[in-house]
Chains A and B, each alone.
Chain A
Amino acid sequence: AQKITQTQPGMFVQEKEAVTLDCTYDTSDQSYGLFWYKQPSSGEMIFLIYQGSYDEQNATEGRYSLNFQKARKSANLVISASQLGDSAMYFCAMRGTGGFKTIFGAGTRLFVKA
C-alpha cells in the first residue's frame, strides 16, 4: 500500500529565511511521481514542484526545491527566502503507476513571520 507521511503539523519561519518541510513515503511501485502542493485559505490546490522516481537530479522551481533521497524514501520541500505570502497549508503527494490516482499526506501548515 502507498503512504505519505508529513510529521510536521505546523512550522514557523522568519521572513526571508529558508524552511524545509518534511515528507516521507512508502510504495512498492518502481516508478512513481512525487508532488508538492500549496493550499492557501481560499482552498485552491496550487502545484509547486514535481519529482519523478527516476529523475537523477533534484527538482527545482524558482524558490522551491525538492530534496529527493530515494533510498530514504524522503522528498522534502525546501522554500528559500520565505515570503509572507508563503503562509499556507502544504501537501506532499504521490502517484504510482496504477490508476493515476494521487494520495496526499496530512499536510504541514507554514506560518511566515514578519
Chain B
Amino acid sequence: GAVVSQHPSRVICKSGTSVKIECRSLDFQATTMFWYRQFPKKSLMLMATSNEGSKATYEQGVEKDKFLINHASLTLSTLTVTSAHPEDSSFYICSASTGTSGRQETQYFGPGTRLLVL
C-alpha cells in the first residue's frame, strides 16, 4: 500500500523559533496534500490543502503567514510553523492524495508530528 512519511515525528522548540515539518509520499505521486491539526482528545481539523506547484488553500481561521505550506514536488510538502508559541503545540498530520475523487485509496495519512513549544 501507499506510504506517507512525516519528519520529525516529534519536536520540542523554544517560543519564537520556526519549525519545519516534512510530509513525503514514498511510493506514489501526490497531486494534493492536506495538513491537519489535532488537539488532545479532539478531532482532526483541516488546516490547508496544497497542490503541487501552486499556492495552498487555507481553511477559514488558519493564519497563512503563521503556517507556511510549500508543495514543491509531487512527493514532498512542508509545513513551517513560524515564530512558534505555546498555543501552537499540537499534533500535526498530513495526508496525500492522488487526486481521484471519492475512493479511500486516494488519500493516505502520515504518522503525525507532535510539536511542543516551550
Contact = CB atoms under 8 A, between A and B. Distances in A.
Given A43-B112, A43-B114, A45-B93, A103 B46 contact: yes
Interface in A54-99: 91, 95, 97, 99
Given A50-B103, A50-B104, A106-B42, A101 B49 contact: yes
A74 B43 CA distance: 19
B64 to A, nearest CB: 17
A105 B45 CA distance: 10
B104 A91 contact: no
Interface stretch (B11-19, B73-81, B94-102): B94-102
Interface string B22-61: 0000000000101000100111101001000000010000
B109 interface: yes
Interface residues of A, number: 25
Q: Is the interface of B mostly helix, strand, loop or mixed?
A: strand
Nearest to A37: B109
Given A43-B91, A106-B42, A106-B43, A95 B109 contact: no
Contact of B44 (A42, A47, A52, A91): A91
B71 to A, nearest CB: 14
Contacts of B103: 33, 50, 52
Contacts of A50: 103-104
B109 A45 contact: yes
A42 B6 CA distance: 14
Given A35-B104, A106-B43, A100 B93 contact: no
A109 B41 CA distance: 9
A56 to B, nearest CB: 15
B101 A100 contact: yes
Given A37-B109, A52-B103, A101-B49, 14 more contacts: A31-B102, A33-B104, A42-B111, A43-B91, A45-B95, A47-B109, A50-B103, A97-B102, A100-B99, A100-B107, A102-B46, A104-B43, A106-B43, A107-B43
Interface of A: 31-33, 35, 37, 42-45, 47, 50, 52, 91, 95, 97, 99-107, 109
Those 6 A-B pairs whose CB atoms lie nearest each other, nearest first? A50-B104, A45-B109, A43-B112, A104-B44, A33-B102, A104-B43
